[in-house]
Amino acid sequence: MSAEAIQSRRDWLLSERPASRMQARLGRTYVAWRRFSANRLAFLGLLIIIALLVVAALADVLAPYSPTVGDLKGSRLLAPSAAHWFGTDDLGRDILSRVIFGSRWTLYVVILVAIIAAPIGLLVGTVAGYAGGWVDAILMRITDIFLAFPKLILALAFVAALGPGIENAVLAIAITSWPPYARIARAETLTVRNSDYIKAVQLMGASPFRIVLRHIMPLCISSLIIRVTLDMAGIILTAAGLGFLGLGAQPPLPEWGAMIASGRRFVLDQWWVAGAPGFAILIVSLGFNLLGDGLRDALDPRSGDQ
Amino acid sequence: MNAALSIDGLEVVFDRFRALKGVSLEVKSGESFGLVGESGSGKSTLLRAIAGLAPAASGTIAVNGKSLGARRDKAFYREVQMVFQDPYGSLHPRQTVDRLLQEPLAIHGFADGEKRIQRALDEVGLGTGFRFRYSHQLSGGQRQRVAIARALILEPSILLLDEPTSALDASVQAEVLNLLEEIRRRRKLTFLMVSHDLAIITHMCERLMVMQNGEAVENLTAAQLVGHRATKDYTRNLLRASDGFVRTA
């Protein structure tokens, strides 16, 4: 593509007089993207997350060995080498392969928690904030109760009741992580519910349901996305913690937290068994944190154009 | 005489504060009626009470002879619309002009949305170039035109104007006022307009009501106001204050 073609495409995106709905939306996305990609660290975070997605998608191709079947006779607890880049664990399994397959479980947990917790929080918060009165009081007291429980302890109790397993760990984490989202959504709702543009929609005869869904939620979503992204690292750590305690993923599932737990018995002599998954958790958590910080700058409705 | 809007003994109470103390008012169909008074005199509250945005504690409001209940129905919103004071706060920050204008049409189930949006934008003097802009891409005057287009798109017969030009600078003020005048003449609308600028009220309105502390002080015609033939002391003071401002300016 020539320089002029790129320039004209940019002009089209940044046009002050968009000619169609699509152009207006694309232009807005482009502005947010430019603000985001100007931040080097945030861009690094995005690259880490993209790398995680690619690794998870291509795990079958990338992993040199099976993640669950090891060679008990010949390759127990080998140090990192050309044949086994991250070494092998006590059952003779290649740790690199396990870390690569573990990325799937990490993504699984993170995405499921986000899909369950964020909409619950958004719904509870916006409804409470917009309705006010006793609806607000009841919903927020329920939120307070959930907030008062220590997160890991509630997750523990939940897993203890339903039985260990990665699905139950996901449910337990989701149930304990929606209250902060509800609070954010409620706070955002309170700042806009009395504004003239919401009054104007009321004056058109819009139902409260429509106002919350189409006019208030879009305003809350960007701060919620930021918060969820920043929480991802915490979610990964909680999932790893549950795995470490033996209440999350069960063996032989290559989940990073469970891998650290099994490696802790020989952490002094064979450090790589616990070290590799630990390092993977560190990198991915860092990636989500950097991404979240960058999104805050790019999406914050209070910066730049309103 | 057919009254487009008649209000009788309207009271509005916010947490024991009586914002309106039994105000009565009658606006004829096709008339432009002004409400003047200092800040906090209850003129904006009166508009909001009519629109259903402020709770009426007692008294009655009737639109085109039909008495209103505590809840407004959809038919009401097709008769009465409002233009807000601050054009920077009355447009949704995340919606394009197109989306803003589509919303009332979607709520009321109009099928010919495309045509109506086009017509509404033409009517307020904004061409197609403005249709897909976000509100932050518009100037104050353009925003207020969009707000007027939004109020007109449901084809109401009564327009409530809450200081529609006080947030705009003088030259834009005149443009917007002329636009409103022109639309009223063409569509035979009834205006109820709040302002603290007596010059605007005398220019726009045939009759007006002076308010103070949530009460009606007196009803005047625009001619009486221009001729300084007010009967109450408060109105005379208001006129004097307004004259004084003109002289120093």
Pairing of strands B215-221, B32-36: unpaired
- Chain B residues close to A305, C-beta within 8 Å: 93, 134, 136
What is the CA A291 to chain-centroid distance, rounded? Answer: 10
HSE value, Cβ hemisphere, 13 Å, CA-based, for A277: 32
- Which backbone phi and psi does B219 adopt, to 5 degrees? -105, 135
Residue B194's domain spans which residues?
3-248
Q: How far, in Å, CA of A215 to CA of A196, rounded?
A: 12
Closest residue in B to A200 (Cα) is B90
The DSSP output letter for A79 is P
- Chain B residues close to A30, C-beta within 8 Å: none
Q: What is the mean pLDDT of residues B118-127?
A: 88
The DSSP output letter for A82 is S
* Among A23, A202, A219, beta carbon nearest to B132: A23
Task: Decide: helix, strand or coil at residue A206.
Answer: coil
Q: How far, in Å, CA of A124 to CA of A143, rounded?
A: 9
Q: What is the mean pLDDT of residues B124-132?
A: 85
DSSP H or E run through B134: none
pLDDT of residue B246: 53
By the 8 A CB rule, do A211 and A130 touch? yes
The angle formed by the CA atoms of residues B210, B156 and B8, to the nearest 5 degrees, is 40
> Among A108-122, A159-173, B159-173, B191-205, which range has the highest average pLDDT?
A108-122
* Buried b / exposed e along A127-164 (16+ C-beta atoms within 10 A): bbbbbeeeebeebbeebeebeeeebbebbbebbeeeeb
Cβ–Cβ contact A203 with B under 8 A: yes
Tell me the domain boundaries of chain A.
Answer: 47-299
By the 8 A CB rule, do A95 and A70 touch? no
| Between residues B242 and A148, the one the model is more confident about | A148
Q: Which fold has domain A47-299?
A: MetI-like fold (1.10.3720)
pLDDT of residue A300: 65
- Chain A residues close to B97, C-beta within 8 Å: none
Q: In angstroms, what is the C-alpha Rg of chain A?
A: 23
DSSP H or E run through B160: strand B158-162
**How many structural domains does chain B have?**
1
pLDDT of residue B244: 62
Instruction: Inspect the interface and report whether the beta carbons of B107 and A205 lie closer than 8 Å.
Output: yes
pLDDT-based confidence at residue B247 (cuts at 50, 70, 90): low
Mutate to test the interface with B, among A203, A214, A215, A222 (most CBs of B within 10 A): A203
Q: Which of residues 244-303 of A touch B (CB under 8 A)?
A: 301
The DSSP output letter for B7 is E
- Chain A residues close to B51, C-beta within 8 Å: 203
Q: How far, in Å, CA of B159 to CA of B79, rounded?
A: 8
pLDDT of residue A305: 46
pLDDT-based confidence at residue B249 (cuts at 50, 70, 90): very low
Q: What string of DSSP letters covers B184-229?
A: HHHHT-EEEEE-S-HHHHHHH-SEEEEEETTEEEEEEEHHHHHTT-
Cβ-based neighbours of A194, under 8 Å, separated by 6 or more:
none
pLDDT of residue B1: 52
The neighbour count for residue A216, using CB atoms within 10 Å, is: 24
- Which backbone phi and psi does B30 adopt, to 5 degrees? 80, 5
Q: How far, in Å, CA of B157 to CA of B160, rounded?
A: 10
DSSP H or E run through B108: none
By the 8 A CB rule, do A254 and A105 touch? yes
| Cis, peptide link before residue A252, omega less than 30° from 0 | yes
Cβ–Cβ contact B4 with A under 8 A: no
The ranges of chain A with pLDDT < 50 are 304-306
| Between residues B39 and A55, the one the model is more confident about | A55
Instruction: Inspect the interface and report whether the beta carbons of A306 and B136 lie closer than 8 Å.
Output: yes
- Alpha helices for chain B (secondary structure H): 43-51, 74-79, 97-107, 113-123, 140-152, 170-187, 198-204, 222-226, 233-248
Cβ–Cβ contact B72 with A under 8 A: yes
- Domain harbouring B151, CATH code: 3.40.50.300
Q: Which of residues 95-154 of B touch A (CB under 8 A)?
A: 96, 98, 103-104, 107-108, 128-130, 132-137, 147, 150, 154
How far CA A91 is from CA of A88, A272, B123, B233, B249, in Å, comes to 8, 14, 78, 98, 91
| Between residues B245 and B123, the one the model is more confident about | B123
pLDDT of residue A198: 93
Using CA of residue B170, residue B171, residue B173, residue B174, what is the dihedral sign?
Answer: positive
Q: B226: distance to nearest CA of chain A, Å?
A: 33
Instruction: Inspect the interface and report whether the beta carbons of A16 and B137 lie closer than 8 Å.
Output: yes
ipTM over 0.90: no
In 3D, which of B34, B92, B29, B28 has the Cα closest to residue B218? Answer: B34
Cβ-based neighbours of B52, under 8 Å, separated by 6 or more:
A202, A203, B68, B71, B72, B76
